[in-house]
Chains A and B, each alone.
Chain A
Amino acid sequence: MSSTSTHAEVTAADTAGRWPVLLLLASGLGWLVISGIFALIASIQLHSPTFMSACEWFTHGRVSALAETTFVYGWSANAGLGIALWVLGRLGGSTLRAQNWAVIGTLFWNLGITIGLGGIATGDATSFALLELPRYVQPLLVVAYIAIGISGILAWSGRRTEGTYASQWYAVAALFLFPWLLIAAQTMLLWSPVRGVLQPIIDGWYVQSVVSLWLAPLALAGAYYAVPKITGRALPSYEFAPLAFWTLLFVGMMTGGRHLIGGPVPAWIPTLANAACWMVLFHFTVVALNLRGALTGGGTSLTFISFGLLAYLAGAVLDAVTSFRGVALVTQFTYFTTAQQQLALYGAISMLLFGSIYFALPRLIGRPWISGSFVRSHRVLSMVGIFLLVGSLAVAGLIQGTELINAKSTFGEMAERTRPWLLAVSVAQVLLLIGNILVLVNFLRSVCGLWCSGVVSEVGSFRQPTTMEVHAS
């Protein structure tokens, strides 16, 4: 490789390895729009219970399971894997290998999701949070995921440099950990179910691990790559990044029991999780120190990453505070926990992924995004939408929680008082849905530019990156 091509921002290695990544990102954004429609239906049913209730497929239990499943396994998984493969390929320094595996894996992953969603709609959903996909598609998902992951693992093991970077740790950890999580959870809950109270314990562990050990690492892999690339400065306090990584892996996994506070489990399980919720703050502190450059940088990508970073930190503090039993007395099992989940999945993980996608796509197709106004609209709509969504759910949750422990208040009063906030949630879902349609259209139009006649390559619009220097710290 000549020295000019080594330093060019978009190389032949990028364009040769783009199809698996583009397929993953496109599927992710497609599922995101579908999930937004399901989420909108589910949120309308919370304040207008008769909405679509005549249609068996769209009764609230099913449609909220559809929304959650599409969001996590459709959008977050596809987009996260796309970003992970892209980052691993770039940092590996050569064209992505085993691309056929990744493409076939993606097709089968999405086939599995589609069959699974049909299963949920027709009544085959399991009773476990985040594991609603019927068990007949779950082995397929494991195999498809491994097929996609092979490409990333090869890019990592065949890297040109001996040393590794934080993005690679997080991406590889997510590639290895998710099959373990899914196999363990489906074996113990669906194929050979454990007895009684052990089931919610396993499911609590799985629900938390999906976020802490799978989606958050995928999102962080992209953010850890994009931030120093754009700011051009080495990450501050990077010496502690390994410690932050291992804290997330070992302590983050133990926070699962917080979903069981107030539940019928031995006291030590939530207690251990609560202690872990505080311990894991170390991970969040270091991530904040490392990525703080994003907050001062401009541009689309860093704006999304800053928002995602702040949401990631706010979510951690909220998790830690609500893990106290006195606080959980009000917040647990209300809309407030939904708010926390949306803050993690939407505010943190999705926004970090958006930031990485906005950075990655021009490098994959060799030209900028096609529409700047769509980018700006998406940015505004998602930020306003997430504020409204999480804020309204949190307020509704606090109202619900205080009414639930008040023996004199009736269910009707509670529904009456939470109704305005639930209406706001529906408005937020509409905003988010519009924003997500915009980004999908913008993405597809940008990619279609690759085939359209008369479009000249705009590689020239990429500025030549320079060498990063390490400042004495």
Chain B
Amino acid sequence: MSTPLHQDPRLDQAASTDESLLAAHDKLLGKQPDEKGRYKLPPLHLLFFFSGLIFFAGTYLNRYSGMFDARVYNENTLPPSGETVVAKLDPLVLGKKQYEAICITCHQANGLGLPGAFPPLAASEWVTGSDDRLIRLVVYGMTGPMTVKGVLYNAAPMPTIGKVANSQYNLSDDKVAAVLTYIRHEWGNTGAPITTDQVAAVRSKEGDRKPYVEAELLKLN
């Protein structure tokens, strides 16, 4: 049974027949009729190696699987817990965003409006004055003439911004509060921030109503 040393590269000689190859290997697997149920203990080094691989793979899987959560993309993190974390937004950032989306069309980026058409917000007594007036003016809008810094404006109505009936914009209370805080802070204006609760309180007090006229607002303090 020595290794054939026939070195002709054109032909590799076979040393054993197919039948004996099958029979010999069958015997090794213990499948011979006289050897049924014969089990051989694997050599220890193979057993240790295989166990080591299983241990390693199991540990690795446990450590880096992110608990098999489809939301985990970084293998070093765990899936998010049930609580929703709400990020705190700076009202000035939120307010600026709203202003640039809605108000800027008429009141302009510099807050000066357009003389003769749209009243200014910068240094306007309506902005820096009464909270109640300002909130109502923005949430419900306003029709008719209006005097700002001694100049009469009557070109266009103030649209209804808040989340009330017939509103053109349906902005939530916190967004209204944010944009009001923003215009009280820009262009040299100074004024206390407007809170979401204040806006909500006005809305629940007034309910759904039509836009104000100047006289109604001036009655408020």
Contact = CB atoms under 8 A, between A and B. Distances in A.
B11 A468 contact: no
B88 to A, nearest CB: 29
Contacts of A300: 9-10, 12
Interface stretch (B16-24, B90-98, B163-171): B16-24
Given A285-B46, A368-B10, A163 B70 contact: no
Given A165-B21, A229-B21, A232-B3, A465 B16 contact: yes
B187 interface: no
Interface size range on A against B? 35 or more
A383 interface: no
Given A267-B65, A272-B65, A6 B9 contact: no
A376 B10 CA distance: 9
A264 interface: yes
Interface string A331-364: 0000000000000000000000000001100100
A376 B9 contact: yes
A328 to B, nearest CB: 11
Contacts, number: 201
A369 B30 CA distance: 38
B58 interface: yes
Contact of A230 (B7, B10, B13, B23): B13
Nearest to A461: B11
Q: Interface residues of A: mostly helix, strand, loop or mixed?
A: helix
Contact of B6 (A275, A285, A299): A299
A165 B22 CA distance: 6
Interface in B184-207: none
Interface stretch (A125-133, A237-245, A401-409): A237-245
Contacts of B44: none
A468 B56 CA distance: 40
B86 to A, nearest CB: 25
Contacts of B6: 299, 463
Interface in A2-37: 6-7, 9
Contacts of A444: none
Contact of B64 (A238, A265, A267, A473): A267
B215 interface: no
Contacts of A114: none
Given A268-B66, A462-B13, A298 B7 contact: yes
Interface string B137-158: 0000000000000000000000
Interface string A208-241: 0000000000000000001011111111011111
Nearest to A371: B10
A268 B9 contact: no
A388 to B, nearest CB: 23
Contacts of B83: none
B70 A266 contact: yes
Nearest to B54: A279
A420 interface: no
Contacts of A296: 3
Interface of B: 1-31, 40, 42-43, 46, 49-50, 53-54, 56-58, 60-61, 64-75, 77
6 contacts: A232-B4, A265-B73, A282-B49, A462-B11, A466-B17, A469-B24
